[in-house]
Amino acid sequence: MLVREFLEIEDLETFRRVAEQSPLIIRRDPFLFAQYFAVMFFIKLTDLERGDVRRLFEMLRGKTVIVKNLVRASSIADFVEREKQGNRL
C-alpha cells in the first residue's frame, strides 16, 4: 500500500501510541516516521526537548531503522541500474 498522507504529531505521547502499532519506525533526521495502514505519521525531533528525544529513542530502540540515504527509483531494476551508474537522485 502506497503512503500518500503524512500527518505531523507534535507531542511525544501521541507519537508513542502510534509507533507502538507500527511494525517499525523510520528515522531520517530530523524526523521519525511511523506507518499506520496507509497513513504515515511523523514527529520532528528538533521540536522536542533533548530528554524527550532520548526517552523516545529508548522506547522505540528495538523497532527503529536509521536511514542513511534516500534514493528515488521507479522499480528495483531502475534502482539497480542507477546504483551501477552512480546516478542517485
Tell me, what CATH number does 66's domain have? 3.30.720
The pLDDT tens digits for 5-57 are 899 999 999 999 999 999 999 999 999 999 988 899 999 999 999 999 999 99
Cβ 53 vs Cβ 45: under 8 Å: yes
Counting the structural domains of the chain, the total is 1
The pLDDT tens digits for 52-81 are 999 999 999 999 999 998 888 889 999 898
Q: What is the DSSP letter of 71?
A: -
Q: What is the pTM of this model?
A: 0.80
As a whole number of angstroms, the distance between CA 60 and CA 42 comes to 14
As a whole number of angstroms, the distance between CA 33 and CA 58 comes to 16
H-state helical runs in the chain? 12-21, 50-59, 76-85
Q: Which domain holds residue 18?
A: 5-85
